[in-house]
Amino acid sequence: MAVGLQTGVPWVMCKQDDAPDPVINACNGLRCGETFSGPNSPRKPAIWTENWTTVYQVYGKETRSRFAEDIAFHTALFIAKGGSFVNYYMYHGGTNFGRTAAEYVPTSYYDQAPIDEYGMLRQPKHGHMKELHASIKLCRKPLLSSKWTNFSLGHLQEAFVFERNSHECAAFLVNHDGRSNATTVHFKGLSYKLPPKSISILPDCKTVAFNTAQVSTQYGTRLATRRQKFDSIEQWKEYKEYIPSFDKSSFRANMLLEHMNTTKDSSDYLWYTFRFHQNSSNAHSVLTVNSLGHNLHAFVNGEFIGSAHGSHDNKSFTLQRSLPLKRGTNDVSLLSVMTGLPDGGAYLERRVAGLRRVTIQRQHELHDFTTYLWGYRVGLSGENIQLHRNDASVKAYWSRYASSSQPLTWYKTIFDAPVGNDPVALNLASMGKGEAWVNGQSIGRYWVSFLDSDGNPYQTWNHIPRSFLKPSGNLLVLLEEEKGNPLGISIGTMSTTKVCGHVSSSYPPPVISWQGENQINGNRKRNHGRRPRVQLRCPRGRKISSVLFSSFGTPSGDCETYATGSCHASNSRAIVEKACLGKERCSIPVSSKNFHGDPCPGIAKSLLVDAKCS
């Protein structure tokens, strides 16, 4: 069918090794240089359609990132093995605004990408990949005009060589050993030291332009700065959501309906209601609800009795609560909540969500209400009257904020945009679960009460694009499903406040030092005589205001935790301050000459600098 559309461009099937001609089989994953068996036809290129720059964040799974060194290693290996195309997923993390997030996926689903969700560079990931791309570009002529050869350099070391003639040669020297120390290999009569689990790229088959494990790019620290706190009761108004009884249902059925097919994605919310008669008010009763997601809030006679939820990998859950029943007719209202639609996999049309079984245990009797007369209502009353809009028609629904919070309450306030151009975010750490709107536009769901295994929320800051904002008089509306406290909400800005570099004298110089190509007596010659450098750069509009740490010698640690080592040039701070203070960017050569002497002859040295941007 796809080929028959005659689009004029090739079709690609990801992770389908048996893709029929002319469809191109491609690889998705973290290590396609190792796992991809290659094209299933010699007429097809080797392409990597999703090179995962981090791990997709979901509720219920550990938050993990991917180091720049690992991305660079597997990308370089894929190219070395004849790869033609690499597409990063994601390169810009982005934000899931509105209800666009998939099931159990936070708004900030891929913030650890080379460009984070605020559009800021995630360093060193972005810079290290930039250096990798530049070094591969230096190899473009032999890569595009010659076939590659592969041979062993050791037990876990090998070379991939692209050589057309004596003037066009590029090599990738690979060390697969990630457990031992650096390994020395011999290639074309020269010795090369390969760090563990790394690839050295030689654009001329002689000089190392880049090593995947040696990060010369700066590290950046992103900081959220609070600009305004909404802690005044007078700032807020509220609207308490209506809890429908069976009598107020929109339609009825003698069974439990599937959630997604009933709402048609018009809302995250579906009310399931039923009523039954109780002869005694003292009888101990227990409500048990089995659901396939994603979240459930239970009310009896309009009173909240509890919530339960599943997770990304285990959507099935059970809510079990004691029932405060009264003599006579009792109404049970169960709010089923979706947090996104299924995002992939086989047989999507067979996926189901919502309530699957409901029982009430009364003394020694179990009453099953699964096949019973149920009332349904799609959406919340606040959604139907569009409380998130700044419309005169909805003003009458709002009332003064009451200090006693209860589930299913809408809140609103007015605020001014923070001054400047830094990205803006809303801190919802004091809230539970719900959705937020700014000037009528949804900035996404939030679920602060869902904690990871360390007891921390998956996300507390929610991105507000400046394009959503006016200079003043911005409307913030929140739908809080649980018992969050809006007085703890604040608005802030994101910025890079610190930059740090840690570079060894054994590292290659910056790839930019390979300045062009000159023809001299028929031989190509590149200028790559520069030394390795620590290069620091503050964001536009900021300058280096102070040097927090500087040591040339054997500093210990990294850019997160560091200390002066046994070898230290006493003038380290003075040299760096002279080169960097008051500047947006600076570059410091990692050499004894630059520090006016060798503090410890015969010992390999490095330079670690941590600086503040203001």
Mean pLDDT of 512-523: 53
Distance between CA atoms of residues 106 and 93, nearest Å:
12
Residue 521 in this model has a pLDDT that exceeds 60: no
pLDDT band at 516 (very low <50, low <70, confident <90, very high): low
Domain boundaries, the chain: 1-122, 223-240+384-494, 246-379, 496-613
Backbone angles phi, psi at 393, to 5 degrees: -70, -20
| Fold match flag (223-240+384-494 vs 496-613) | yes
Question: What is the structure's pLDDT at 282?
Answer: 64
Tell me the C-alpha distance between 337 and 190, whole Å: 64
Q: How far apart are CA 86 and CA 82, in angstroms?
A: 11
Residue 109 to residue 107: CA distance in whole angstroms? 6
> 471 or 164: whose pLDDT is higher?
471
Q: 607: closest CA among 583, 579, 411?
A: 579
Q: Could you tell me the CATH superfamily of domain 223-240+384-494?
A: Galactose-binding domain-like (2.60.120.260)
Q: State whether residue 149 is helix, strand or coil.
A: strand
Percent of the chain with pLDDT over 70: 97
Residue type, 592: S
pLDDT digit string, tens, across residues 182-236: 999 999 999 999 999 999 999 999 999 999 999 999 999 999 999 999 999 999 9
Q: In the prediction, which pLDDT does 317 show?
A: 98
- pLDDT value at position 232? 96
CATH code linked to domain 246-379: 2.60.120.260
State mean pLDDT over 107-125.
96
Q: Give the integer Cα–Cα distance in Å for 533 and 273.
A: 68
Mean pLDDT across 32-38: 96
- pLDDT mean over 139-145: 95
Q: Give the pLDDT score at 346.
A: 86
DSSP assignments along 239-282, one per residue:
EEPP---GGG-SEEESSPPPHHHHHTTS-SEEEEEEEEEES-SS
Nearest CA among 380, 319, 301, 322 for reference residue 355: 319
Are 211 and 508 contacting, i.e. CB atoms less than 8 angstroms apart? yes
Instruction: Say whether pTM exceeds 0.75.
Output: yes
Q: How high does pLDDT run on average in the chain? A: 94
Above 80 in pLDDT, residue 523?
no
Torsion angles phi and psi, residue 3, rounded to 5: -65, -35
Give the per-residue pLDDT at 340: 97
The more confident residue out of 372 and 2 is 372
Q: Evaluate if residue 568 carries a pLDDT over 60.
A: yes
Which amino acid, residue 396? A
The hierarchical CATH code for the domain 496-613 is 2.60.120.740
Smallest Cα–Cα separation from 375: which of 279, 476, 231, 275? 275
Q: How confident is the model at residue 253 (pLDDT cuts 50, 70, 90)?
A: very high
The pLDDT tens digits for 75-97 are 999 999 999 999 999 999 989 99
